[in-house]
Amino acid sequence: MSDEVRIIEMGPRDGLQNEKIPVSVEARIDFVEALVAAGLTTVEVGAFVSPKAIPQMASSDAVLRGVAHLTGAEFHVLVPNEKGYDAARAAGAKVVSVFAAASEGFSRANINCTVAESIERFKPVLARARDDGVKVRGYISCVLGCPFDGEIKPKAVADLANTLWDLGCYEISLGDTIGVGTPTKAKEMLRAVAANVPAARLAMHFHDTYGQALANLYAGLEEGVSVIDAAAGGLGGCPYAPGATGNVATEDVVYMLEGMGVRTGVDMEKLLAATNGMSGVLGKAPVSRVASALNAKKKRAVS
């Protein structure tokens, strides 16, 4: 297990894109600034997708430009195709992410095409990014289960990860999109993927629907994976999975890792302030157990 873990902050994109009410550009920029101030120096800030499909991600170009002044941080944006890539590059993107699903059912429901068709859509993106010197991160959804197809075989995930790796993705993020995985299954999946893609180039993107995310992350850390996707306050969810909660909360991940002596570089007090700021914008309390506990502790101290 590594003594240092890199956390990729998902809140401004994967977290906010599931909120019913879109958050203003100004509030999104403030959120990113607060997260970077907390030590989260890799943040996914938006998605260059159709505003009709995901209105919450409209004006991602303005958000990306609005955080460009922050030094020492790397900002990622999601792009589904060449049109999205063009818009991202025009806004100054230096790192983009592409996505595919390990299940045919989810791919059809989410982006209305087969897995093979989704790969064909972003092949030109990877080719152009290589020529432009732009880094590309690859996401795979439903690596531990699908709301339509049920159980997903580790080989299906491994084959898709190998395809993304061969196409030029520098890192592959493995998503338990509906949060159904358990530690043993997580290990089996990661071992299958690591047979072709180095563990150092893998990331874990686990949702916490069944309360298994931290346990699954721990299992993955034991397998040598040292990159974790998380969202401040546990923001997020999956519209195709009834009852699915958000990403594993960044506060919960930091608390576990720092308690184990694993460095994250994140200041919990500043992270909590960032989470509370966005919670105020959204008008609801954070899902994070750690954030809830620390907020309650602060409230008791004041009273």
Residue 213 in tokens: 């995310």
Which residue has tokens 């401004």?
A: 12
Q: How big, in percent rounded to 5, are the helix, strand and coil portions of the chain?
A: 50, 15, 35
238 is annotated as an active-site residue: yes
Give backbone dihedrals phi and psi of 53, rounded to 5 degrees, phi first: -75, -45
Question: What does the radius of gyration of the chain's CA atoms come to, in whole angstroms?
Answer: 18
Which residue has tokens 């994070």?
A: 288
Tell me the C-alpha distance between 77 and 80, whole Å.
10
Q: Which of 142, 146, 169, 238 is catalytic?
A: 238
Residue 104 near residue 64 (C-beta atoms within 8 A): no
Question: What letter does residue 24 receive in the DSSP assignment?
Answer: P
Which residue has tokens 């010197």?
A: 133
DSSP 3-state of 102:
coil
Tell me the C-alpha distance between 230 and 205, whole Å.
7
Active-site residue list: 238
